[in-house]
Structure 1
Amino acid sequence: MNDLTQRQPRHLHEECGVLGLYAPTRGELAPLAYYGLYALQHRGQESAGIVLNDDGCFNAWCDVGLVNEVFPRERLEAMGQGTIAVGHVRYATTGSDRKRNVQPIVINHFKGRMAMAHNGNLTNSFRLRQALEERGSIFHTTTDSEVIAYTIVQARLTAPSIEAAVSAAMDKLEGAYSLVISSPTKLIAARDPYGFRPLCMGRRADGMVVFASESCALDAVGAVFERDLLPGEIVSVSHRGMVCDTSHCGQRPKKLCVFELIYFARPDSVIDGASVSLARQRAGAFLAQEHPVEADVVIGVPDSGLDAALGYAKASGIPYAMGFTKNKYIGRTFISPTQSMRETGVNLKLNPIRAEVEGKRVVLIDDSIVRGTTCRRTIQLLRQAGAREIHMRVSAPPFVAPCFYGTDIDSADKLIANHHTTEEIADIIGVDSLGYLSLEHVVQLTGPENTGFCTACFGGGYPTEIPGPGEKDRFEQPIGRNKSDGE
C-alpha cells in the first residue's frame, strides 16, 4: 500500500496483511477477524481495521495502533453480528495522514457499499488517480488502495456484477495487489496476475470460507488451508456458493516477492506451497555452501535469521545456539523519546547471551543489510559480550535497486551495497568477514528450479513498467518503521 505523502527515508519495513471471512449463517465474526489479524500483526503495526457486513449494513472500526489496542473486548462486542468480515493491518507510517489512511476502505456508490483491504503497490497509481480525478472522483486518502477501489466502482457502472467489475478493473491495474472485498452480499478475493503478494484460502468445519495473506491466519481462526489463489485469480463467495474466475491467470510470469520467504512471512506459514521455515533453512544451507568459515557457533538475529542460522549450522556442522534473547514486550513500533535512548534502545529489544558467544568464533546470520546501521549496533553488542570473531552471513543478496511493488526499499543511492564493496561493508559494520546469498541461489529457496520470483531489488530486473520520472519520488520516500534485525 503506497502512501503518497512525504515520508522520511529509513529502512525496509513490513507489508500489510489482509483477511476476509464469509459465514453461511449470521454470527459474531468480529472476534474471529481479531484472531486472524492478530496472527498477521507481523505484517503491519501501524493500524488495524475490521468491517463487518450484516445483510448490507456495514459496521466499520479502524484506528491507528496494534490489533489489541484498536480492538479491546468491548469494541469487538459492540460490532455485533454479520455474515462477512474484512480486516486489515497496515505497516508503520509517519505524518498527519496516518489515521485517514487506515483500512479497510469503505466506499458508497450507486450499487450499494463496498469494503476493501489491499496489500501491495500499484506502479501506475499516479496515472490512474489523475484520470479518476478528471472524471470527478474525490479522494479522501493518499493511498493507491483508494485508487483501486474507485477503479472498481467506475467499472461497476457497466459491469453486470461486482466480480465482473473487479475483473474489468484488473485490466487497468498494474503492479502488486492482493485484495479482499465485501459487497453487500458477496466476499471477493483477487490476486494480481504476477502474484507479487501472497493470498490463500481455507475453510472451517462450519462452512466458513476464509481468505488471508498468510496461512498462519487460517490456523488462528480454526480454518483448514485449502490452497493459494493463483496469480490473476478472482474468487467470489456468496449464498450461491463459490465461483472462481481464472481469465486473468497465465497472462504474466509468476513473480512472488522472494523477500516474503526471506523476511516478511511468519515461519509457520506456507506460501504458494512452500514452507517459509524450510525456505529459510535452505537459504542458510546455501550460505554455508557459498561462504564456509571455521567457527565455533552459529547464531541468528531474531526472528527471521533463526531458521537460516539453523540451516547454516546443519549444512556446515558448526553447532547452532540461541545467541540472543529478544524482549517480547517491546513491539516493532517501539520508539525511544530521546536520541541517547534511541542509541541504546537496541539493548532493550535484543541482548546477547554471553555464555553462548564469549570467547568464540561466531557465525551471525541475518536476513538483509539495507544501510548497515542496525546490524552495526547488533554486532557491537556481540563484541561487548566477548565474541572473539564475528563472520556475518546474509540470507539475501545485496539490495541494489528500489522496490515498486510494496516493499519500501530505499532509493538506490541510499543502499550501502551501491557505494561499498563487500569487504568495505564488513569493515563498516565491524565483522571479520561478510557473505551474501547469491542471486542464483535465492531463486531456489523452494527447490532446485526457479518457480517464479521477483528479485528486482537484488538487480534481477523489473517485471513491469516502473513509474516515470515525474511519478518516482513518492515511491522513493519509504514509510518509516522500527526493526531490530536486517539493516
Structure 2
Amino acid sequence: MCGIVGIVDAGGVSLPLYYALFALQHRGQESAGISTYDAGILHKHKEQGLVAEVFNREILTELTGKVGIGHVRYPTTGENQPENTQPLNFSFKGHVFSIVHNGNLVNSKELSSDYEDQGHIFATTTDTEVIAAIIARELTVSGSMEDAIILCMQKLEGSYSVIAMLDGTIYAFRDPLGIKPLCIGKTDSGYMVASESVAMDALGAIFIRDLKPGELVRIDSDGISYRQVTRSSHSAFCIFEYVYFARSDSVIDGVLVYDVRRKIGEMLHNEAPVNAEMISPVPDSGMAFATGYSEASGIPFKEGLIKNRYIGRTFIMPTQKLRENAVRMKLNPVRGHIKGKSVVLVDDSIVRGTTSRRIIELMREFGAREVHFRVGSPPITAPCYLGVDLPTRNDLIAHNRSPGEVCSCISADSLHHISLEALIKATGHSPEDLCCGCLTGCYPLRISGELSKCRDIDFVNGSYQTRLEL
C-alpha cells in the first residue's frame, strides 16, 4: 500500500505535505517522513509512528523549502526497521536526492545482488533503495535524470509508483501496468503528485488526472511536463484499491471509489438476498457496501458496530496477535440496535478469518439473533506479490475451503462473497485491465511458481524501443 506525495509550491511545502500525509494515513501506519529542498540543502525528518506522532509545529517549521516529498509506510518488502522508513535520502556528485515508493518489485533480490556484485552497499532491506541505486548509477553515466529513470524502468519488474526529488526538481513515474495509483493536482502556486486524490482535496488543490501507466512527470518552479515512457497492451490496476485500500472519496484511475463500493453492495443483495431486519457495516470500509445493500434490499441501514476512531486499520497491523487484540478495542456492538435482531453484516473482505469470526462473536454476545455475513470481494485464495502483505496460501481461510466451510469457521448463519464478474463490472474497467491475482492465482507479470497472463510493454521514448518480456 503506502502513501506518497510530492509538492512544488512557491508558498512552501512542509505544512501541505503534512496535511497530504494525514489524508493518506489509511495507506500506512508504520512510519512517516518528509524531505524538503531549500537552497541546496536537504531538510528531513522521519520516524516510526503515525503522522500526528512523528511531526509537530517545531519540526515542520524546520522543514523549509518550496519543494518536498513525503511518505507513510505499510511494510511489504523490507522489515519493520527504522532504517526502512522513507523518504530515503542520499547525496552524491554535488546533488541531493530523495525518493519515496509505493509498490513491490518482484525482482528486487536479483537487482540488489547484481549491484552488490558491482560493489554497491545497501543500508536498508527495502526495494526502494534498489530503485534509488539504479537511478543514481544511470544518472552518473547519462547525466540526465529523465534518461536515468527510463533506464531504471527497463530493469524494474513489479509494481511501483515512485516520486523522486533531485535537488529542486520532482520526478514521478508509474509502472507500465499502472498497478499502484498515482495522480496529479494543481495547488495555488504549483503542482503536486500523490497516491490518491483525497490528498489534493485536503489542500484545496485541483485534481488534474491520474498518471498514465508508464508515464513520467517532471515538476519544478517552471511548471509541469509529461513524458510517456512505456506503452502496454493492457493495464493491471489493483482491484483491491476499489475494495479496501483507497479511501471511499478518492478517484482512482477515473472511477470514484465510493460508487464502486455502493454498486458492489447492490450486487451482493442481488446475488444473495436475506430476509433480515437490519443492514450493518463493519466500519469503516464496509460503509459504502452496506449502503448499496440497504438501498437495493429496502432493509434499513443501521450501525450495529461503532468504531473507536483512535484505533487504526487492523489489517495492516504487523502481527496476527495485534490484529486480534485490536478488534475488541476497535469495534463495539450497539446492543440496543442488534439485540434480538437478524442482521446482515457487510464487510470488504475476509483474509485470515480471525477478525471476521471475532466480530461475529461480539455481535452474538450483544444479543444478535442471526448474523449473515456479506463480503465485497471474492474469496482471497492466493498471496499478493505486488504490494499487499497478504499471507501465504495456508494462512488464507478461503484456501482449500468451500464457502460453507468458511461460513462455519467464522460462525456466521450464512456467508456470500461477491462474484468476480460482478466485482469487475462494478469497477467499470475491463477484466484485462485489472490485477486480480489474489482472487484468481493468475498474475499480470511473471512470478516464479505462479500462473501469469503477461502484458506486452514497449519503451517508446528516445532510442528505447525494447520489448520487455515479462
What TM-score do you get using the length of structure 2 for normalisation?
0.91
Structure 1 residue 112: deviation in Å? Answer: 1.3
Deviates more, 1:86-95 or 1:192-201: 86-95
Structure 2 counterpart SS, 1:253: coil
Deviations 1:182-201 (A, max 9, x none): 01131111000100010001
1-side partners of 2:393 and 2:414: how far apart?
24
Q: Does the C-alpha gap of structure 1 residues 448 and 146 become closer, same or farther in structure 2, counting only changes over 3 Å?
A: closer
- Which residue identity does 2:185 align to in structure 1? G
2-side partners of 1:356 and 1:226: how far apart?
43
Unaligned runs of 5+ in 2: 451-470
Q: Is the 8 A contact 1:454 1:460 kept in 2?
A: no
Map of 2:153 onto structure 1: 170
Structure 1 residue 143: deviation in Å? Answer: 0.4
Map of 2:178 onto structure 1: 195
Q: Is the 8 A contact 1:56 1:183 kept in 2?
A: no
Structure 1 residue 205: deviation in Å? Answer: 2.6
Structure 1 counterpart SS, 2:104: coil
Q: Is the 8 A contact 2:7 2:192 kept in 1?
A: yes
Map of 1:244 onto structure 2: 226
2-side partners of 1:279 and 1:451: how far apart?
18
Aligned mate of 1:135, from 118, 125, 143: 118
Structure 1 residue 346: deviation in Å? Answer: 2.4
**Is it true that 1:49 corresponds to 2:33 in the alignment?**
yes
2-side partners of 1:94 and 1:352: how far apart?
36
**Is it true that 1:17 corresponds to 2:3 in the alignment?**
yes
2-side partners of 1:53 and 1:387: how far apart?
56
Q: Does the C-alpha gap of structure 1 residues 167 and 421 become closer, same or farther in structure 2, counting only changes over 3 Å?
A: same
Unaligned runs of 5+ in 1: 1-14, 470-487
2-side partners of 1:131 and 1:344: how far apart?
42
Map of 2:169 onto structure 1: 186
Name whichever structure is richer in strand by fraction: 2
Q: Is the 8 A contact 2:122 2:129 kept in 1?
A: yes
Deviates more, 1:229-238 or 1:156-165: 156-165
Structure 1 counterpart SS, 2:176: coil
Aligned mate of 2:395, from 396, 401, 414: 414
Q: Does the C-alpha gap of structure 1 residues 440 and 222 become closer, same or farther in structure 2, counting only changes over 3 Å?
A: same
- Which residue identity does 1:151 align to in structure 2? I
Map of 2:22 onto structure 1: 38
Structure 2 counterpart SS, 1:302: coil
1-side partners of 2:80 and 2:329: how far apart?
30
- Which residue identity does 2:4 align to in structure 1? V
Structure 1 residue 460: deviation in Å? Answer: 5.3
Deviations 1:159-194 (A, max 9, x none): 242112111110110110001110113111100010
Deviations 1:235-286 (A, max 9, x none): 00123432211131x2242111110111011111111111111111111111
Structure 1 residue 359: deviation in Å? Answer: 1.4
- Which residue identity does 2:44 align to in structure 1? A
Equivalent runs, 1:235-274 vs 2, <5 Å: 235-248=217-230, 250-274=231-255
Structure 1 counterpart SS, 2:66: strand
Structure 2 counterpart SS, 1:176: strand
Task: Pick 1 or 2: higher relative contact order, CA cutoff 8 A, min separation 6.
Answer: 1
Map of 2:208 onto structure 1: 226
2-side partners of 1:429 and 1:204: how far apart?
47
Aligned mate of 2:287, from 298, 303, 306: 306
**Is it true that 1:356 corresponds to 2:342 in the alignment?**
no
2-side partners of 1:306 and 1:342: how far apart?
20
User: What RMSD in Å do the two structures reach over aligned CA positions?
Assistant: 2.2
- Which residue identity does 2:112 align to in structure 1? R
Deviates more, 1:237-246 or 1:442-451: 442-451
Aligned mate of 2:197, from 196, 215, 229: 215
Map of 1:380 onto structure 2: 361
Structure 1 counterpart SS, 2:105: coil
**Is it true that 1:109 corresponds to 2:92 in the alignment?**
yes
- Which residue identity does 1:74 align to in structure 2? E
Map of 1:82 onto structure 2: 65
**Is it true that 1:122 corresponds to 2:105 in the alignment?**
yes
Q: Is the 8 A contact 2:76 2:104 kept in 1?
A: no
- Which residue identity does 1:90 align to in structure 2? R
1-side partners of 2:210 and 2:195: how far apart?
9
Deviations 1:419-466 (A, max 9, x none): 321111111111111001111112122237447210000015111011
- Which residue identity does 1:19 align to in structure 2? V
Percent of pairs identical after alignment? 45
1-side partners of 2:427 and 2:280: how far apart?
23
1-side partners of 2:325 and 2:100: how far apart?
37
Q: Does the C-alpha gap of structure 1 residues 343 and 171 become closer, same or farther in structure 2, counting only changes over 3 Å?
A: closer
Deviations 1:270-327 (A, max 9, x none): 1111111111111111111111121111111011111001111111222111111111
